[in-house]
Amino acid sequence: MKITLPYSGLQWSDLWFVLQGIGNTVLLTVIAATIGTIIGLALGWARGESKTARWAFAPIINVVRSVPLIIQLILASSFFAMAGGEASPLVAGCVVLSLYMGVLTSELVRAGLASVHITLRRAARSLGMSYWQELRHVSAPLALRAVFPGWVGTLIALTKDTALVGVLGYVELMRATQILINRTNEALLILTGAGLFYFLICYPISRYCRRLEKAMNHD
Amino acid sequence: MKKLLAAAIAVPMALCLAGTATADPSIDNIIASGKLRCGVQLDYPPAGFRNEQNEPEGYDVAYCKDMAAALGVEAEIVETPSAERIPALQSNRIDVLIASTSITPARALSVAFSQPYVNYINVVLTRDDTNITSFDEMKGRAIGGVTGTTTEKDLKSAFDQWADPAGSYTGYGSEAESYLALSQGKIDGLIVGNAAAAALIQSGQFTNLKVAGDAPTPPDLAGIAVRKADQDLLQFVRTFVWSQVTSGRYAELYGLYFGAGEPPALAAPMVEY
Amino acid sequence: MFGYTFYWSIVWQKLPELAAGAALTLQITVLSMILGTAFGAALAIGRQGRGLGLRLSTAWVELARNTPALFQIYMVYFGLGAFGIHLSSYVAMVAALTFNNAGYLAEVFRGGLSSVPKTQMSAARSLGMTVGQSYARVVFPQVFKTVFFPYVNQLNWALLNSSLGMIIGLRELTGATQAAQSESFRTFEFFLVAAAIYFLLSKIVEVSARLIFRRLFRT
């Protein structure tokens, strides 16, 4: 009887497998970045404007920042299981990473708002602007401008951290890489390819970001 | 302000959870949905691995397909890494866990096991150049195993008994990694299911590995796990496992994935499951 | 919805194993930070220079910052095998984390150095101090102060990043937790306890850093 072999060499069709992994990485990054930014803006603004919010959100922010993402992911997945919900690895990953991105972004937004001088805000209000008008036309544009480089940095961190969702069985690029390594034993070649992908995405953005920061510090 | 805040948090959560539904788990649901979803570990050759097309294959995968056929539904293979096996089962992402899971009382507190559907007898796996020819010769050597497996526990208890300061023990995250470590010389020996070892050596990927005698370990009997509440499904699985053996399909699958030789009995001496 | 019963007694039985894991986690973290500081300082100096030193240190820093930590660990653990270098998961983990820490710390140190205006050096020199004295008494104390919190931040990252050891079979806190949960399948309970331990460790680092800072730079 013929034995079916668990090991087989690398072949062209594996490129498609890797591309699917890249697609999954990008999908997860885009979803988590979008939701996370929305959460971050709201959370940062709430924490900046209200003491109650600062106090109320402190526990969750502390936990998100002090517990490894791997454990957050496993816990989230188990939590959905306990709650009786049916959460795919994509959903669990998307919830955890959105929250993570949100918390990091909120720190930036809060600092950004704090950087807008209080006299400027008072001046705007005394010109007859409502709270929202002032926020929309004065504080927010100034704060967001200060926040942008930091936000891009957070985005890069997020892109790299999507690699951890592979632990839940979500086949993103790093997981696809590991599967191929286990199957083919061609670690160096496959890893170099995967590393190159992350680098080519993150490096130009981080350079752009650094130049931006420099330019902003000069004016 | 408050409403806006609440919306900003609730909307994305809702987006994320969209498509999430809670279902009543039972055999009727499997029939109604037309799908049997099996949790399989795909880094556990030859029970679970990916073939050249990166599609799931192996003894456990074939077992799932047979079970689906017996139910008259389609098989859906869900890859469940170690930490995901139980959440996947509890969150109703899979119906059965066919992942070569060793039957233990501690685990039976969390899931319901069928009787054994596969039996792993352990052998010593080593490299050609280590001079190890039997289990006891692993004393004082660098050995390893897969973290959290029953096999690891057996090997570690022997390792602790030897208490040889020259020896060392390393735990690995998956079978594949431990084979790689052995082949690359990170460790000199490990114990592994005999069938898996045979398939591994015949694969031609690890030409420097060989089997060096049996390991004096109790038989590693693995069962299929279902949710504790799914007693009707458990009854079906038990009947199905029985029929796989009586119909000769067990021997056939065993030969296909684990190699030639007598398929081991799916029982331990002196006791019934 | 929450029909889940917690089985805590199983976790308490395994607490010694988790404690041993936590000890290993601390060991890896501290070791990789000490080594990372040494390499990071060298890289920061290398990036001030030119030629091969500049190119090598820039490559190190950019690679460390723009690829996932998990990729770096895989590269050290599996990838180096192609060159006949086979490291144990412990050594691989310390080496990969050192690589990562050094990359980030180099930037921290560079930021610290550039935060001290060059004129201070000239001022110190014109007061009759030697180059060594100027660095020791004028420049470094200020660098130390700006670098302090980013450094502690990196220490925290190293602590959280060490959890990736689980993926290459290391029994640090996350690995030990993973092993313990797979014996009894009480995934949620075990990882919840692990999360609490990480939280505690991270808070200890944060609070003691703040106390140390206050003692060192009383203002």
SS (H, E, C) chain B: CHHHHHHHHHHHHHHHHCCCCCCCCCHHHHHHHCEEEEEECCCECCCEEECCCCCEECHHHHHHHHHHHHHCCEEEEEECCHHHHHHHHHCCCCCEEEEEEECCHHHHCCCEEEEEEEEECEEEEEEHHHCCCCHHHHCCCEEEEECCCHHHHHHHHHHHHHCCCCCEEEEECCHHHHHHHHHCCCCCEEEEEHHHHHHHHHCCCCCCEEEEEECCCCCEEEEEEECCCCHHHHHHHHHHHHHHHHCCHHHHHHHHHHCCCCCCCCCCCCCCC
Q: What is the pLDDT of residues B104-149, one digit of tens each?
A: 998 999 999 999 999 888 889 999 999 898 899 999 999 999 887 8
Retrieve residue C107's tokens: 């930037």
Instruction: Specify whether domain B25-119+221-258 bears CATH 3.30.450.20.
Output: no
Distance CA A70, CA B200 (A): 31
Paired sense of beta strands B112-120 and B168-172, if any? unpaired
Asked whether this chain's domains B25-119+221-258 and B122-214 adopt the same fold, the reply is yes
Q: Do C169 and B106 touch (CB under 8 A)?
A: no
| Amino acid identity for residue C134 in this structure | S
Q: Which residue in the set C7, C81, C169 is minimally distant from B147, CB to CB?
A: C169
What domains are there in chain A, each with its CATH number? 13-218 (1.10.3720.10)
Query: In chain A, which residues have their Cβ closer than 8 Å to the Cβ of C62?
Result: 199, 203, 206
Query: In chain B, which residues have their Cβ closer than 8 Å to the Cβ of A11?
Result: 52
Q: State the pLDDT at residue C107.
A: 93
Any chain C CB within 8 A of the CB of A69?
Answer: yes
Q: Where are the domains of chain C?
A: 8-216
With CA atoms as reference, the chain A residue closest to C61 would be A203
Cα atoms in the 13 Å half-sphere on the side-chain side of C23:
6
Any chain A CB within 8 A of the CB of B2?
Answer: no
Mean pLDDT in residue range A132-160: 90
Q: At what angle do helices C15-46 and C187-216 cross, to 10 degrees?
A: 50
Superfamily for domain range B122-214: Periplasmic binding protein-like II (3.40.190.10)
Note whether B64 and B38 are within 8 A (CB): yes
Q: What is the pLDDT of residues A148-179, one digit of tens each?
A: 889 999 999 999 999 999 999 899 999 999 98
pLDDT at B4 over 60: no
- Greater confidence, C172 or C115? C172
Name the pLDDT band for C217 (thresholds 50, 70, 90).
confident
Q: Which residue in the set B50, B174, B255 is minimally distant from A1, CB to CB?
A: B255
Q: How many residues does chain A have?
A: 219
Q: What is the pLDDT of residues A52-101, one digit of tens each?
A: 999 999 999 999 999 999 999 999 998 888 777 777 899 999 999 999 99
pLDDT at B26 over 90: no
Q: Which chains touch C (3 or more CB pairs under 8 A)?
A: A, B
pLDDT at A7 over 70: no
The percent of residues above 70 in pLDDT, for chain C, comes to: 98
Any chain C CB within 8 A of the CB of B87?
Answer: yes
Count CB neighbours of A75 within 10 A.
21
Note whether B220 and B150 are within 8 A (CB): yes
Mean pLDDT in residue range B29-51: 90
Instruction: Specify whether domain C8-216 bears CATH 3.40.50.300.
Output: no
Count of helix runs (H) and strand runs (E) in chain C: 10, 0
Q: State the pLDDT at residue B263.
A: 84
Q: Where are the domains of chain B?
A: 25-119+221-258, 122-214
Cα-based distances in Å from B83 to A169, C42, C186: 9, 40, 10
Any chain B CB within 8 A of the CB of C185?
Answer: yes
Distance CA A37, CA A120 (A): 26
Q: State the pLDDT at residue B265.
A: 86
CA distance B46 to chain A (A): 6
Mean pLDDT in residue range C124-142: 88
Any chain B CB within 8 A of the CB of C10?
Answer: yes
User: What sign does the CA torsion over A70, A75, A81, A83 have?
Assistant: negative
Location of structure tokens 């940095």: A153
Beta strands in chain C (DSSP E): none
pLDDT at C195 over 60: yes
Mean pLDDT in residue range C185-207: 94
Interface of A with C in 89-128 (CB under 8 A): none
**Terminal C-alpha separation, chain C:** 54
Note whether B222 and B214 are within 8 A (CB): no
Q: Kindly tell me the burial class for residue B261, based on how many C-beta atoms sit within 10 Å of its own C-beta (0-12, 13-18, 19 or more).
A: exposed
DSSP state of A67: S
Distance CA C162, CA A159 (A): 19
Q: State the pLDDT at residue A80.
A: 84
Q: Do A70 and C194 touch (CB under 8 A)?
A: no
Q: Kindly tell me the burial class for residue A215, based on how many C-beta atoms sit within 10 Å of its own C-beta (0-12, 13-18, 19 or more).
A: exposed
Query: For residue B117, which phi and psi values (nearest 5 degrees)?
Result: -115, -5
Closest by CA to A25, choosing from A148, A202, A147, A184, is A202
Q: Quote ipTM for the complex.
A: 0.90
